[in-house]
Amino acid sequence: MRDVAIIGVGVTKCGELWDKSLRDLYVEAALKAIRDSGVDRLDSMVVGCMSSGLFVGQEHLAPLLADYLGQCPIPSTRVESACASGGVAMRTGFLEVASGVSDVVLVGAVEKMTDVGGDEATYALATAADQEWEGFSGVTFPGLYAMMAVSHMEQYGTTREQMAAVAVKNHESGSKNPNAQFPIRITIDDVLNSVKVADPLRILDCSPISDGAAAAILCPADVASQLGKKQPVKILGIGHGTDTIALHSRENLAELASAGRAAQKAYEMAGKKPADIDVAEVHDCFTISEIMATEAVGFFEKGKGGPAVEAGESAIGGRIPVNPSGGLKSKGHPVGATGVAQVVEIVEQLCGESGERQVQGARTGLTQNMGGTGASSVVHILEAM
């Protein structure tokens, strides 16, 4: 298999983008990535999206977006894995280039979530849970993650203040991101005193409903500098794992087993270990999920993720900066696009293009993207060439 590099990236602002359609957002991110790379052709497209049918009533996205981008008749494929759709799209694009099927692949991902009301958005998101057991019982994702949080607190002594510290850290980073949906600073007290959603989670523990898109251009690493004008970033390792969708079928609610397996595979493929990572973007759809994800990928021992964030170890300037983009919590969470947006942030970090939130000396980065409560998870390890 061939080595693969990223030679261009693009991302839109996240938020309630009333004046832009799903196809507008996708094309905006895709054109930014194409211009960033300088390529004059595409051989293939991979589209990540969770639920355009429920959010905007549009399926059959792959040819639609190829058409709207002016790329017909090249092959275009849509992939879906709930909130991990973007991460799986990246993996799919990687495999297409690595196998030699295509040389220049556009991996784009998009979600338009605010064209429906709150109840409809909640229903659409809940389809990523087990419908016959969890959905039928009326449980939604705040409730599911609240159960995970309670389990983590009981097993390891994780505190409400430690979870709140995740939100404070990510909003501090997000305040420096011009594309963030909520670029505002908050305090521990703000989080603890915000509206309760599902005990122990409060509204400021939860990522928002977002519109947005992200894109990346992939090509063989040995010709990256010839095809593109941007400093290439090599994809060193990829891991993909799954777990039961229903929480009641899992051995331990306080662990993200799929993320752990995906990380192990990615480290093995890359020839790296957690201590080699300089910067990371992990899936903080709720504050407890960042704590659990940092433990799953090996940054901290099980049960130590909470104390680590409280001590500033995962802040910019800390031992392992996590979510310098602001994460899903501050930057926003257009579910199908999140995995590619994470890759965009890491590529910009490794190229020294992140402005005020730049992690100094970053050479190797990691992304961890997951669907639902971690039933699917994808980890990428990237390194500047």
The catalytic site residues sit at 83, 333
The string of DSSP codes covering 193-205 is TSPEEETTEEGGG
Longest dimension (CA), the chain: 56
Q: At what angle do helices 160-174 and 287-296 cross, to 10 degrees?
A: 90
Could you give the CA distance from residue 282 to residue 286 in angstroms, rounded to a whole number?
Answer: 11
Q: What ranges in the chain are assigned the alpha helix state H? A: 22-37, 52-56, 61-68, 85-98, 118-126, 141-156, 160-174, 188-192, 224-227, 257-270, 287-296, 305-310, 327-330, 338-350
Could you give the CA distance from residue 328 to residue 335 in angstroms, rounded to a whole number?
Answer: 9
User: Which letter does DSSP use for residue 286 in this model?
Assistant: B
Q: Please, which residues bridge with residue 198 across strands?
A: 201
Which of 243, 254, 287 has the alpha carbon at shortest distance from 377? 243
Q: For the chain, how big is the Rg over CA atoms in Å?
A: 19
Owner of token pair 């409903």: 209
Q: Are the C-beta atoms of 152 and 184 separated by less than 8 Å?
A: no
Q: Are the C-beta atoms of 39 and 59 separated by less than 8 Å?
A: no
Distances (CA, A) of 46 to 1, 38, 71: 19, 19, 12
Could you give the CA distance from residue 70 to residue 65 in angstroms, rounded to a whole number?
Answer: 8
Burial group, residue 317, by CB count within 10 angstroms (0-12, 13-18, 19+): exposed
